[in-house]
Structure 1
Amino acid sequence: MSENCIFCKIVDKQIPASVVYEDDELLCFKDINPSAPVHLLLIPKVHLASLADAGAEHADLLGKMMVRVPQIARDNGLHAGFKTQINTGRGGGQEVFHLHVHVLGTPAPGLD
């Protein structure tokens, strides 16, 4: 855990979040400044500053994140599709330096 990282504080329950999924390694919660009707952030519980900092030792964790995304999306009403986004580094638009996957979409009417 990085003591100045807002996402680490969310993992440690020091800051509240609207959690939609949690297991031993991952946490997913609603973005507080959504840019879509459904805007979720999936993070590893271990602090990893960005995708650029991931190494071979993180392969299983990254794979688990990607495999978990579709189920989280469906569980949150995104049956017709969704967008995933990983901003990496300042030049890539990353604002919080804890790896996170944005899951964005609009629930399709009648498919919930």
Structure 2
Amino acid sequence: MSASEDAPFAYDGLDRVIHEKARLGILTSLVSRPEGLAFNDLLKLCGLTQGNLSRHLQVLHEAGLVEITKGYDANRPLTTATLTQKGRQRFLDYLDVLERVVRDAARVAPELKLKPA
């Protein structure tokens, strides 16, 4: 019997780096934008403070999921985050596991009997 048969609801593929709410939001924001997003755009999209966004981007960068580019636009500092190829693949793998979670929950939900309080 394989590990997945022993523990079908273990969901080992739920990557802890990605699974954190803020990092999931960052990666979701970046996945459809191959050119990346400016720091301020990510702030608005994810509803994070500058410090929180900086820290989560650092974690994603250290994991090799996001590339951070610092430069200038019209003499103003510009920080851009871009999803790496590795990041894109890990995110897609993560989504596959999430889809399995949803399918499993939908399959077992009718079997659950709620008892009155």
User: Same fold per TM (> 0.5)?
Assistant: no
TM-score, normalised to structure 1, is: 0.30
* Greater Rg by CA: 2
Query: Which structure features the higher share of strand residues?
Result: 1
Q: Which has the larger share of helix?
A: 2
User: TM-score, length-normalised on structure 2?
Assistant: 0.29
